[in-house]
Amino acid sequence: MSAHSEEAPELIEHQFMQPTVLVAGADAAGLRLDQWLAASLGPDMSRSRVQMLIRQGAVSVDGKPVDETKRKMAPGESVSVTMPEPEPAEPQGENIALHVLYEDEELIVINKPAGLVVHPGAGNWTGTLVNALIHHCGDSLSGIGGVRRPGIVHRLDKETSGVMVVAKTDRAHKSLSEAFADHGLTGDLERAYLALVWGIPQRPAGRVDAPLGRAADRVRRAVVPEGRDDARHAVTHFAVQERFGESQKEFATASLVECRLETGRTHQIRVHMAHIGHPVIGDPDYGQAFRTKGNRLPEPLKSQVKAFPRQALHAWLLAFRHPTTHLTMRFEAPLPRDMEELVSGFRKL
């Protein structure tokens, strides 16, 4: 069948150019966009890959971006697909400054700043902690823990700051991975976070035992019924360190809370604190319902809260047993300046 027949899409630009533009023939009527596009782009383009491109905003119909994979096609529509640049086979070293707290031949401990992604992934193939570590450590990370995550035994969210340890040898990777998998239940690991949260918990300390799974949007996490297929056991312990504004009723209150993990699920602290009604201040994913609380604050604190660009969560403590000396090593990182300034503002309530 000719590429210019009524029944086939017309290839306006060469398929290897950016972007690729196709015009639907009569046989496209009623087909799903992802179904039609996968068939039109040939055997090297899977339907799941097409769906990802659509969700990433790389597909337009008649010049308008679309993000609905099930959208029905109509004859004559022009579909443009912008293919992303090929991903590098392996992460490359980049000269990104690191705040190193400790380093030896086995491991390196750093104080990760907010805004730094830990390892390469969709949308963040460069500029990550892994890229910085490869540049800093050289060949010592090669082959440890996988190509995408060399040396990584745990991670912090992009906008969460604080202490991290990275393995530089297979021996250290195995030892540290086992400790993090056990979450300190055998006494070989201690992790503590400080979170600035909305409101004041009724109890000075507590335990949140609530399974986590995927939220409805399939991106965030949520507390889910225990019997659901994707439910994962999750336990967080919290203790209130400071209370802000509890003696007045005019302004919104807040607390500085220490959180310790008994399990290590994605976004666990953020989801659990929101679940008990005290979301982390500045959290764009789990604290949206509390955004208006910032309006109930005096200036300049009101403006500080509105301008704060991230969740106010910091990994302040990490202790573990060294894989070769077997000595317990303890590292602390004080609150970063942005979070310290925010806490100082709440202390004035």
Could you list the active site residues? 157
Please name the residues in contact with 112: beta carbons below 8 A apart, sequence gap of 6 or more.
Answer: 99, 118, 129, 156, 160, 161, 162, 163, 164, 315
The three-class DSSP label of residue 130 is helix
The three-class DSSP label of residue 89 is coil
Please name the residues in contact with 276: beta carbons below 8 A apart, sequence gap of 6 or more.
Answer: 201, 206, 208
Q: What are phi and psi of 141, to 5 degrees?
A: -90, -10
Task: Provide the residue type at 344 as one letter.
Answer: S
Q: Give the integer Cα–Cα distance in Å for 292 and 307.
A: 13
Residues 236, 268 contacting (CB under 8 angstroms): yes
DSSP string over 261-324: ESS--TTHHHHHHHHTT-PBTT-TTT-GGGGGGGGGS-TTHHHHHHH--S--EEEEEEEEE-TT
Closest CA to 259 of 284, 275, 242, 240: 240
For strand 20-23 and strand 78-81, is the pairing parallel, antiparallel, or unpaired?
antiparallel
Q: Give the integer Cα–Cα distance in Å for 19 and 324.
A: 53
Please name the residues in contact with 86: beta carbons below 8 A apart, sequence gap of 6 or more.
Answer: none
Residue 179 CA, distance from chain mean position: 22
The three-class DSSP label of residue 110 is strand
Residues 151, 165 contacting (CB under 8 angstroms): no
Structure tokens at 98: 């690191």
